[in-house]
Amino acid sequence: MKFSKMHSLSNDFVVINNTKKKYYLDKNIIQKLSNRYTSIGFDQLLLIELSNNKNIDFHYRIFNADGKEVNQCGNGARCFAIYVKLKKLTLKKNIFISTNTNILHLKILKNNKVCVNMGTPLFNPESLPFLGKLKKDSYSLFFNNKLIIFDIVSLGNPHCVIQVNNISDIPIKLIGSFIQNHKLFPNKVNVGFMEFINSNNIKLRVFERGVGETNACGTGACAAVAIGIKKKLLSDKVKVDLIGGSLDIKWKGKNSHIFMKGDAHYIYDGEIDL
């Protein structure tokens, strides 16, 4: 199988062109490929497929390192755009791709930067899903006898956002695992820890489903900004500083679409015997 290795803000991917030769990758194969010690290694595997809709350029599928398919990956979407340009699968700079849940608009800019229209953030519990009995502005859980207050939002995948004073002092894995696997989130959840710097800048760490903490998470950045704007902490343009680098997020609020801008990079092509 031929593949390409790519990264965006050190969030790394294996990209496979499934438009001509079809590869069927089951959960066990994906888990083996994701192993950084005995195979290629990656946070997510991305499949590029043909679209059945004449108005959509490609179909986009995402698999986490644990082999489970998910519905959205913002950093992966930017790598997707750079890949189809590099491999001359399209000459367009404005690309429309379908996922299992929505349609994304990718705009290729200069210097390997891509702007992605991530759609409209959804705050209703059913969209994640979240099994809380009532819709609230914020929710809470007890962890080790301490109250954790969090907010929820869906961007094609589920996110829980916790505001903290200092993301360097937080036991990300312990709290992230506890919330991610809580019975209130039947499909599990991505857990973001947001540190407020000012109305135009936040720091963020994300504990992702099926992966653990990653160096960056595009949908996580959008989720944190959407929550911050909803709570009137942030302006409509925010720089999000992650471990692997920064993203620019723009959202006008309410029912408008949220936009994410950042870079993406090709690393190498390879072949592996399945």
Range(s) of the chain covered by CATH 3.10.310.10 = 2-119+263-271, 125-256
| pLDDT in the model for residue 137 | 85
CATH code of the domain occupying 2-119+263-271:
3.10.310.10
Q: Which residues of 161-181 are buried (b: 16+ CB within 10 A; e: fewer)?
A: bbbbeebeebebeebbebbbe
| pLDDT in the model for residue 135 | 78
- pLDDT tens by residue, 175-200: 999 999 999 999 999 999 999 999 99
Give me 20's structure tokens.
Answer: 């001509």
- pLDDT tens by residue, 133-151: 677 889 999 999 999 999 9
Give me 217's structure tokens.
Answer: 């998470």
Query: Can you tell me the distance from the alpha carbon of 162 to that of 249, in angstroms, rounded to the nearest whole number?
Result: 18
| Nearest by Cα to 7 from 116, 82, 97, 72 | 82
CATH code of the domain occupying 125-256:
3.10.310.10
Contacts of 112 (CB under 8 A, 6+ apart): 82, 263, 264, 265
What's the full length of the chain, in residues? 274
- pLDDT tens by residue, 9-67: 999 999 999 998 889 999 999 999 999 999 999 999 999 999 999 999 999 999 999 99
* Residue 164 scores a pLDDT above 80: yes
Cβ atoms of residues 218 and 116 within 8 Å = yes
- Give catalytic residue positions: 73, 217
**Rg (alpha carbons) of the chain, rounded to whole number:** 18
- pLDDT tens by residue, 52-87: 999 999 999 999 999 999 999 999 999 999 999 999
